[in-house]
Amino acid sequence: MRQTLRTITGLFSNMHIRGKLLISYFILIFLPLALMTSITYTNVSRDYEKQILHSADQSFDQAYTFLTYKVNTLIKASDVIYFNADVQTMLTRDKQVFADDYVQQNIDRQELEYFLNSFQNTEDVYRASLYVPGWLMYAGQNFNFMNMDAFSKTENYRALLASKDKVSWLTEHTITNNNSNLDPVPVISLLRKIRNSEQTSEIIGIIELNILQDVIDGIIQKANITNDGVVYIQNSNGAIASCSNLQNFHRINPNLALIKDQDDGLSWNNAKIGSSDYVIKKRTIENTDWTMVTAIPLTEIFTQSTRIRDLMLVLMLVCGLLSYGLAYLITGATVKRILLLKKKMRLVQEGVLNVEVHSTSRDEIGELTDSFNHMIKRIGILVDEQYQNGKEIKNLELKALQAQINPHFLYNTLELINWKAIDNEVPEIAVISQSLAKFYKLSLNKGKDIVSIIDEINHIRAYVQIQNLRFDNKIKLEVRIAPVLHNCNILKLILQPLVENSIIHGILEARDRDEGIITITGFQEKNDIILAVEDDGVGMLPEQAEGLLANGNANDEVQGYGVRNINHRIKLCYGQEYGLTYRSSPGKGTMVEIRIPNR
C-alpha cells in the first residue's frame, strides 16, 4: 500500500505543471457537481411526482366540470321540451279526428320543428328530435321527428321503459348529418319519456337530444396530460362512452370491477391492473350512469423522474466538461495562440490574404503576431498595386487602339469629301460625309466611355440617316424620351448595335413593306432609367430572343455576340441586376429593354 502511494506521489511530482493543474481542476469541478446533482435529483423527483398528480387533478376536475355542464344543459333543454304545453297538445291529438287532417298536422309539424331548432347549436345540442305516434304524417321524417311505434320494438326503447331515472343515455352511435350528402355523424344521445300530463301512465312521445361525440372526446382528451395514461367514461353496463386514447385503453384493459373497487372522491388510489401498477381516480357524473376514470401508470411517473435524473447527469457532465475544457484552454493559452497563427499562415498559403490575427499581449508570440499582420498587409498592398498596374496597361492598350483612328485626319478627310461633293453638285455624298463625320465624332467622344443620353440619341440619328441614304429612306426613327433624362449619363455605343439589329434583322427582313418604324422610349422607374428600342419588323420566337442573351442566336452569331457584349458591359459597369431584356414574337416585332441606374 505504501509502495503504491509512493509510486503515485512520484508520478504526480514528476508531471508537468499543466498536468498537475488539470488533475486538480478535475477533482475540484466534478466532485462538487456530483454531490450537488445527487441532492437536487432527490428533491426534484419528489416535487415532480407531486406536480404530475396535481396537474392531473386539475385537468380531471376541469373536464368533470365541463361534462357536468354539458349534461345539465341537455337535461334543462329536455325540461323545457317536456313541460311545453304545445308539445303536450300536439302529441295528444285524437287520431280519429286528426288522422286525415293534413293541414293541421303540417301546422303542428312546422311549429314543433321551429321549437326544436331553437335548441340546436354545435357545442351543446347538435340536434333535438321527437319520437311521435306513428299515425302522424311527419313521423317518418327521420330528422327532427321519428316514428315512436317503430322505436318501441327496439332494445333501446325497452331499456328506456325499464329505467327509473329521469333520463337515459345512449353511448356513441351515428345519426344522419344536417346535410344528407355528408357521412353520418357520431353522437351521444339523451332519451326522455314524455308522459301525458293528464294520464301520467301514458307515454305520448320521447325526447332525443344529441351532442356531438367529438365534443365529449375533446373534453376527455384535454383531461389526459400523460403519454401512457388514459382518461375514459364508462357507463353502468361497462360500455365506453368516450376515451382519450383507445390504444392506451386496450393496452391497460381496465375492467368494470376496477371502478366499483375505487372510492368516488378527490383522492388518488393505487391499483394493480394485470402485472402493472397504476394510480386511479374516478368520479360519477351526476344525472347519468357514467363514471369518469383516469389511470396513470406508476412507471410513467418514475420514468419522468428517471429522465430528470438523466438530464441532470447530462447537465453535470456538460458543465463539468465545459469547466474542465475552460481550464484546459487557460493552461494551453500559449499553445493555442501558436496554433492560431499557424492556421492563418496556411490560409495565406492557399491565397487568402484578408486574414488578421488579433493579439493584445506583448510577449514573443505577440511580437511574432504583429510582424505576421504587417507582412500580410504589405502583401495585400503589393497585390492591389499589381492589379491596378495591369488594369492601367489594359486601358492604355485600348487608348492606343482608339488612337490608331486619327480623329483629325478622319474629320479632315470627310470634310474634303464634303466640299468635293458640293463642288461637283452631288448633295447625297455631302449628306453622307456630314452624317459620317457626326457619327464618328460621337463614337470616339475624345476617348470617354460615358456620354449623355442626348448625345447617344444624336449618334443614333446620324446612324439612321446614313442607313436611310443606303436603303432609300426605309427606316423611320421616333424618339420619346423625357427631357429630364437628356443629360443623364450612359455607356456609349449601347443603343447603336441594338438599332442596327432592328434595321438588319427586323425591318429589312420584312420585304413586303416599304417602311419600318424604330421607336426609342425612355422613362425613370424609382432610381433606375429604362430605355427601350422597339421595331415593327419580322420579330422572332421568344426562345430565340432569350438565346441572344444566353448562348447567342445560332442563325446569326454576330447579332448574338453584339447583344451579349452590350449586356456584359452594362453588368460590369453597374451590377448584375442591370442589363438587357428581350421581348419578341413572330410578325409583331421586337423590343429590347435596357435598365441602368440613374447616376
Looking at per-residue confidence, does 332 or 571 come out higher? 571
CA dist., res. 273 & res. 454, Å (int) = 95
More confident residue, 35 or 118: 118
**Mean pLDDT: which of 263-267, 335-339, 393-397, 496-500 is highest?**
496-500
Determine the pLDDT at residue 408.
47
Q: State residue 530's pLDDT score.
A: 94
Strand 590-597 and strand 579-584: pairing? antiparallel
End-to-end CA distance of the chain: give it in Å, rounded.
Answer: 89
593 and 452 together in one domain: yes
pLDDT of res. 57: 85
Q: Write the pLDDT tens digit of every residue in 239-286.
A: 888 999 888 888 888 876 666 666 666 678 888 887 888 888 888 888
Over the chain, what is the mean pLDDT? 80
CATH, residue 193: 3.30.450
Cα 46 to Cα 304: distance, rounded to the nearest angstrom: 11
Backbone angles phi, psi at 533, to 5 degrees: -115, 115
Indicate whether 197 and 226 sit together in one domain: no
Helix, strand, coil percentages, rounded to 5, for the chain? 55, 20, 25
SS3 state at 515: coil
β-bridge pairing 516-525 and 528-535:
antiparallel
For residue 280, the surrounding DSSP H or E stretch is strand 276-284
End of a domain among 175, 209, 243? Answer: 209
Number of domains observed in the structure of the chain: 3
Q: How many helical (H) and strand (E) elements, i.e. helices and strands, does the chain have?
A: 19, 17
pLDDT for 140: 85
Query: How many CB atoms within 10 Å of residue 269?
Result: 14
Structural domain for 521, as ranges = 448-597
In sequence order, which ranges of 424-490 are alpha helices (DSSP H)?
Answer: 427-444, 453-470
- 169 and 221 in a single domain? The answer is no
154-163, 306-315, 350-359: least confidently modelled range:
350-359
- Asked whether residue 269 is assigned to any structural domain, the reply reads yes
What residues form DSSP beta bridges with 295? 230, 280
Look at residue 401 and tell me whether its pLDDT is greater than 90.
no
- Whether the predicted pLDDT of 338 surpasses 50: yes
Give the pLDDT confidence of 28-48 residue by residue, as tens digits: 777 887 888 788 777 777 777
Looking at the domain assignment, is residue 544 inside a domain? yes
Can you give the pTM of this predicted structure?
0.48
Q: How many residues does the chain have?
A: 599
Distance, in Å, from the CA atom of 290 to the CA atom of 239, rounded to the nearest integer, reads 9
Q: What angle do CA 28, 31, 37 make, to 5 degrees?
A: 130
User: Quick check: is 10 in a domain?
Assistant: no
Average pLDDT over residues 450-456: 88
Which domain CATH number covers 465?
3.30.565.10
Does residue 460 sit within a domain? yes
> What's the whole-number mean pLDDT along residues 580-598?
91
Q: Distance between CA atoms of 479 and 490, rounded to whole angstroms?
A: 16
Of 269, 304, 339, the position where a domain reaches its end is: 304
**Residues 564, 464 share a domain:** yes
Backbone angles phi, psi at 275, to 5 degrees: -105, 10
Residues 141 and 175 sit within 8 Å (Cβ to Cβ): no
Q: pLDDT at position 529, please? A: 94
353 contacts: CB under 8 Å, gap ≥ 6: 376, 379, 380, 383
In terms of domains, do 525 and 555 share one? yes
Give the rounded distance of the alpha carbon of 454 from its chain centre.
49
Does residue 549 share a domain with residue 590? Answer: yes
Predicted local distance difference test score (pLDDT) of residue 261? 63
**Residue 146 φ/ψ region, left for φ over 0, alpha for ψ in the -120 to 50 degree band, beta for the rest:** beta
Per-residue pLDDT of 347-392, as tens digits, reads 777 777 777 777 777 777 777 777 878 787 887 787 777 767 655 5
State the pLDDT at residue 553: 44
DSSP secondary structure letter of residue 263: -
**Most confident range, picked from 129-133, 172-176, 239-243, 305-309:** 129-133
What is the rounded CA–CA span in Å between residue 397 and residue 80?
A: 103
Residue at which a domain ends, from 209, 232, 252: 209
| CATH at residue 225 | 3.30.450.20
312 within some domain: no
DSSP helix/strand/coil, 494: coil
Does 232 share its domain with 193?
A: no
Report how far residue 225's alpha carbon sits from residue 57's, in angstroms, rounded to the nearest whole number.
Answer: 10
